[in-house]
Amino acid sequence: MDIIETELPGVLILEPRAFADERGYFMETWQQQRYAEAGIAGDFVQDNLVRSGKGVLRGLHAQHPHAQGKLVQALKGEVFDVAVDIRQGSATFGEWTGVLLSEDNHRQLWIPAGFAHGYVVLSEDSLFSYKCTDYWNGQTEFSIIWNDPEIAVDWPESDVLLSPKDANAPLLKDIPASRLPPCA
């Protein structure tokens, strides 16, 4: 497995090895010891699978308390995936990194707890997988508007389909400090 560090400390791009032949391919998507050696030692407690069509943008989502570390990947199709540092006191607060995840490149993105997460679907259809280190908690979950000008994510799609919650989300600067996670 190849590991690529991003501009944001702790956010990692993982490239598991895929063994392909005329039948298709085989790939390990999680192996506790190997991932722990890469710095991903969290206990995963919940897996999620999301199907979405082209132009669907989900995010930017976070939880505090009960912040979730997420190991994400596109099982079908192609998405542009984003992590935003929202940890109070972090040297990279408000900064983002993005990566193309697809069924063809087999890449995964590790997003540590304390980061907001979102993605936009670039293909006609997608299946997107999350492994989470904490349970979803609707009372502590919140959204940040996807096109916050201070974060300035360079989304490859501008004509997006959003949920009402995401379409009406506040700017990062308008979220009370008590809702944001601290920098560990």
Q: Catalytic positions, please?
A: 61, 130
β-bridge partners, 42: none
Q: Which two tokens stand for residue 81?
A: 């995936």
Q: Is 168 exposed, middle or buried (0-12, 13-18, 19+ CB in 10 A)?
A: exposed
What is the C-alpha to C-alpha distance for residues 112 and 80, in angstroms, rounded to an integer? 18
Q: Which two tokens stand for residue 84?
A: 């935003």
CB 174: neighbour CB atoms within 10 A? 10
The torsion of the CA quartet 94, 99, 101, 104, rounded to 10 degrees, works out to 180
What is the C-alpha to C-alpha distance for residues 94 and 152, in angstroms, rounded to an integer? 9
β-bridge partners, 101: 79
